[in-house]
A and B are shown apart, each in its own frame.
With several copies, the nearest count.
Chain A
Amino acid sequence: MESLTTEFKLEMYRRMVRIREFELAAMDVFKRGLIKGTVHPYIGQEASGVGVCMALRPDDLIAGTHRSHGHNIAKGADPARMMAEIFGKEAGYCRGRGGSMHIAAFDTGSLGALAVVGSGIPIAVGAALGFRMQGKDSVAVPFTGDGGTSTGNFHESLNMAAIWKLPVIFVVENNKYAVSTYYRDAVSTDDLSVRAAGYGIPGVNVDGFDVLAVYAAAHEAVARARRGDGPTLLVTESYRIEGHYAGEPEVYRSREEVNAQRQKDPIVRFAEVLTSDGTATPEELQEIQSAEAARMVAAVEFARSAPMPDPATAMDYIYA
């Protein structure tokens, strides 16, 4: 891995901050009753999505989950159109048909967030198969949570990608909980990356609070996949700072536990790296933060005032 340019590192930081600000804004509009549906915040996990997606090209594809605001932004999606989507507006990425759990942004390589846990994984495998048949060297990246590793899809897909040597990076974001379930109560191993050996593929476990570490691991996995050497299982270890969804009561864990994890804030941590290695001054980073916060104010404004889908279009998009 060549050393990263200042511009690149600042873009990483910017996207992490953008995710954070988007999630704060989304939780806020939800709390204020401005949107319906649910919001599953990615706060605390920003380094995972950004580390992975910054290692991808625009023509590489990601497949998301119910918790994919962060993945979409990391891959380059426009927060305003995302905000419009969670407001259910025609200007949203999915013309208001998808909502928070289903944001797809085909123009930036996000082929959809699927809210049935695990269901995006084989779809990404199929996209990788398609790339290979088309003679492209693009890769496909399904994201899943620790909970999602218990699904049959996870296993079937790892096996399939392994035997066909497909360009897939399976990213498991172990944020320690699946709704109320601590991962060790549902996952039969401490380190999920050890499962890779059972498929004859590399398994990597990386600190999911450290964007550079995630990036390095993803970069290597992507290079391997592009070379035609097959899939990698990449596990990022982080923590879900917010409730499962905005407003979720969190009866299953203590405030102390959450607060301890909050100290690991991946954005603060990366800011320290960037300032200590001279990439940026605290003021420059603050500017990024302010710009992204302002951007979200504008995004909410845009989304609020955008029109709803016309009821007369209710029968559109059922069949292509």
Chain B
Amino acid sequence: MTTPTRDAVSLGAKSPVMSSDLIVQVPAGTPATEKTMAEAIREALAEEMERDPRVFLLGEDIGKHGGAFGVTRTLFDRFGPERVRNTPISENSIVGAATGAALVGMRPVAEIMFVDFSGLAMDQIANQAAKLHLMTGGQARVPWVLRMPQGGGAGKSTAAQHSQSLEVWYAHIPGLKVLLPSTPYDAKGLLKAAIRDDNPVIFLEHKLLYSFKGLVPEEEYVLPIGKCDVKREGSDVTVVASGYMVWHAMAVAQLLEPEGVSVEVVDVRTVSPLDEETIGASTRKTGRLLVVAEASRSYGPTGEWAMVAMEQAFDYLKAPIQRLAGRFSPVPFADSLENGMWPTTADVVGAIHNLMQY
């Protein structure tokens, strides 16, 4: 990951010009429009708010300002200040309020401006919302969604307190569902599913992906929570990844095709509960596994994915499972240090070559 060649095969990976052709999810002939992920999320919110009067939004500066990333822009004008509710800077109580509203039958979609700040809300998320259903013997239901932008390297150098990927904090807590979409299509379909789900759902949005474009069907659709999505079929190597890292995997899969390496890409778009079967099946098929996550390496998601593959496919493994993950460091501000924090396409190429040559 710190090899000087890591950007050599970069496909503009860290910029929005990365080609959206890499992932096509809408069958030819289906009426669809190209949208950014931010637009797709906004559309999901608007459609669900239209459909169900119980759905409302709350968070800091989500009103006129549209949130830190403009995702809710226009919704305030459309739905008004009650249903697009600006809050004080009180993360724990924003989540607590969402829980309370959910308990009396509302379906709140709360936003925390950056996932990093959810450190202030961990009690309400992990101790209250996640546990109320079991703790009350089924009396309580907490149907909220908590949207949180995460991830680093927006080319913006936002440093240690605005760049983390923290899905593991949530995925480790039973009672929560954790989603991390990689495409506009997935973001829209999964967010709609999350809003309709009767459980607290953590919905993580990678900041770099907001401006990524992709086809989104005109027709309403809802995607299943709890399943991995095979983004590309292949026979030689499986890459298990989520969020932004899926694009690296797809770019490299295309790049290696002429070399005759057939890469299968499994997108863990539901981080938890984890779809162990799909990871197992793909690993059994290819016998070679690379796990890639942006979250910091130690005790990150990659260990769990690898363990699951091991449990499900040990006898099929032709090489040791490889992993790529975020450098185990707080994120530094300087460009020269931020480079190298997260896996790149070159790293993915290197790891796949390792697997093939083992």
Contacts and interface: CB of A to CB of B under 8 A. Distances in A.
A133 B82 contact: yes
A153 B93 contact: yes
Interface string B320-342: 00000001111011111101100
A121 B199 CA distance: 21
B interface: dominant SS: loop
Interface string B167-200: 0000000110100000000000000000000110
B87 A112 contact: no
A160 B340 CA distance: 42
A147 B88 CA distance: 7
Contact of A134 (B105, B143, B198): B105
Interface residues of A, number: 75
Interface in A261-320: 308-311, 313-320
A314 B333 CA distance: 11
Interface in A91-128: 92-99, 101-102, 104-106, 111-112, 114-119, 121-128
Interface stretch (A6-14, A46-54, A177-185, A228-236): A177-185
B100 A97 contact: no
Contact of B88 (A96, A186, A319): A186
Contact of A317 (B89, B98, B138): B138
A55 interface: no
A25 B106 CA distance: 38
Given A134-B104, A311-B2, A311-B339, A126 B133 contact: no
B156 interface: yes
A197 interface: no
B98 A126 contact: yes
A320 to B, nearest CB: 4
A309 B336 CA distance: 6
A101 B116 CA distance: 15
A122 B340 CA distance: 33
Contacts of A309: 332, 334, 336-337
A152 interface: yes
Nearest to B104: A130
Contact of A98 (B96, B137, B339): B137
Interface stretch (B40-48, B57-65, B214-222, B285-293): B57-65
Contact of B133 (A38, A116, A163, A318): A318
Interface in B95-152: 95-106, 108, 116-117, 119-120, 123-124, 127-128, 132-143
B61 A150 contact: no
B90 interface: yes
A319 B330 CA distance: 10
Given A97-B135, A122-B95, 10 more contacts: A89-B334, A97-B333, A101-B162, A122-B92, A129-B97, A130-B103, A186-B86, A311-B336, A311-B340, A315-B329
29 contacts: A36-B335, A88-B333, A97-B137, A98-B137, A102-B333, A114-B128, A114-B161, A115-B159, A119-B123, A123-B96, A123-B97, A123-B128, A126-B102, A133-B83, A140-B100, A151-B90, A178-B88, A179-B68, A180-B63, A181-B88, A186-B86, A309-B334, A314-B327, A315-B327, A315-B329, A317-B134, A318-B175, A319-B175, A319-B273
